[in-house]
Structure 1
Amino acid sequence: MDLHNYLGYLIISILTITSPGAAILLAINNSMKYDLRAVVFSSLGNILGLFLLSLVAMFGVGVLIKTSDMFFWILKIIGAIYLIYLGVKHMISGHKEFHLSQTNEHIRNYNPKKVFIKGFLVAATNPKPILFFTAIFPLFLSTNHPVVLQFFIMTFTFMVISFVSLMTYGLISKHAKAWFFDEKSLEWFYKISGAVFVLMGIGMLFIKK
């Protein structure tokens, strides 16, 4: 594909992905609650969700979302409900489920499959990536090169940047764990992060096509 177009797409992707969102907040939570291995699982789930959304967009469902108010609203509501559910769960029982210990015993108390699925659902129930793929891709596709090949190059670029971004946030938050040895600080962390999830869910209802 055209190098100039790819570099432009790369810059926009980095700016879009690294801005705080539900996936990043989930990565931070997993790093705080478990370890970087959990962040790997949730990040893999997230990029798998992104890949499937890119395929969905590629096969025309993205056009359906852009043209059908009902389908768009259904997807928004599902995504909003899931984020609000995560937020409420964090606020109510997050700090009770997680008691950071010097021995790191909590690390063994999570199911990698569940962490993976949660990361996948955070991506898959969000209509914003589909709109990104359907709206941004056409702006950078070159008619002088195979469209399908360009699509997959841009999709995998997006996935790699997403994975690196999530792992970076997870690594940074891992080094901030010492602050959370205090039970009160831990409780406030989960209340605030849970509230952010809820706000993201509510905000998703106001996404426009």
Structure 2
Amino acid sequence: MEFHTWLLYTTVAFIAIVSPGPAVLLAINNSLMYDLKATIFSSLGNASGLFVLSSAAMLGLGVVLKTSMILFTVFKIVGALYLIYLGIKQFRTLHNIFERVHLHQTQSAVRYFTIFRKGFLICITNPKPIIFFTALFPLFLEPTTPIIPQFFILTLTFMSLSFMTLMGYAFFARSLKHWFNTRNRATWFNRISGAIFVGLGLGLLGLERK
């Protein structure tokens, strides 16, 4: 793969990644509720999900999703319901999520595998990335060059960009944590972020095949 091809792909991928979505909201939540280590785990979960979806796209699942209304609808509904569930759970949280001492939480109490799994599930239950991979990869794969090395280059580039973007959002949110550290503001943060999760889920329900 030539450098200018990779650079163009990186630019297109970054524009797609930097747009806020469920993974970004989860990273922000984790950075505020726990610490940056929790955000690392959720971001790694998201990156792992991207690898699975990219592999599935290369194996033809993306084409199936684009042609099978039933499978596409199942993916869409499962992903939407999961986001709505997370949103309702967040919305109903009434306490100050930033006061871990008050909640008797410690660093050891943070279940990093659960956080990783949540990031992974949010990614793989969203049909948009796999359709994105299916539509994008053929534009940048060079038929005269072995496909597998190109697949790893494109996929790892996308994963790395996603991870760095999520961490960037997390660092920015972390710098504002002191502003949220009151019960009233924290409650509104819970409500707003919960409503956004629900909105993203409802938006996913309206996603159409292209």
User: TM-score, with normalisation over the residues of structure 2?
Assistant: 0.94
Match status 1:68 vs 2:68: yes
What's 1:96 paired with?
Answer: 95
Distance 1:55 1:97 in 2: 40
Give the Cα separation in 2 of the matches to 1:103 and 1:125: 34
Q: Distance in 1 between matches of 2:2 and 2:147?
A: 11
Distance 1:38 1:107, change over 3 A: farther
Gaps of 5+ in 1: none
Which letter maps to 1:4? H
**Alpha-carbon distance change, 97 to 53 in structure 1, aligned in 2, over 3 angstroms:** farther
Relative distance call for 1:175 and 1:99 in structure 2 (3 A) is closer
Q: Which residue of 1 aligns with 2:44?
A: 44
Is 1:34 paired with 2:49? no
In structure 1, distance between residues paired with 2:90 and 2:68: 33
The letter of the residue matching 1:88 is: I
Match of 2:116 in 1: 116
Q: Structure 1 residues 17 and 107, CA, compared in 2 at 3 Å: closer, same or farther?
A: farther
User: How big is each residue's C-alpha offset from its partner over 1:24-47, in whole Å with a ceiling of 9 and x where there is no partner?
Assistant: 000000001000000011011110
Partners of 2:85 and 2:152 lie apart in 1 by 33
Distance 1:103 1:90 in 2: 18
Contact conserved, 2:32 with 2:177, CA < 8 A, in 1?
Answer: yes
How many pairs align? Answer: 208
Structure 1 residues 90-120: Cα deviation after superposition (integer angstroms, max 9, x where no partner): 0002x42724268997452321111010000
Q: Which runs of 5+ in 2 are unaligned?
A: none
Identity of aligned residues (%): 48
TM-score, with structure 1 as normaliser = 0.95
For 1:9, the equivalent position in structure 2 comes to 9
Partner of 1:87: 87
Structure 1 contact 101–181 (Cα < 8 Å) conserved: no
How far off is 1:141 after superposition?
A: 1.1
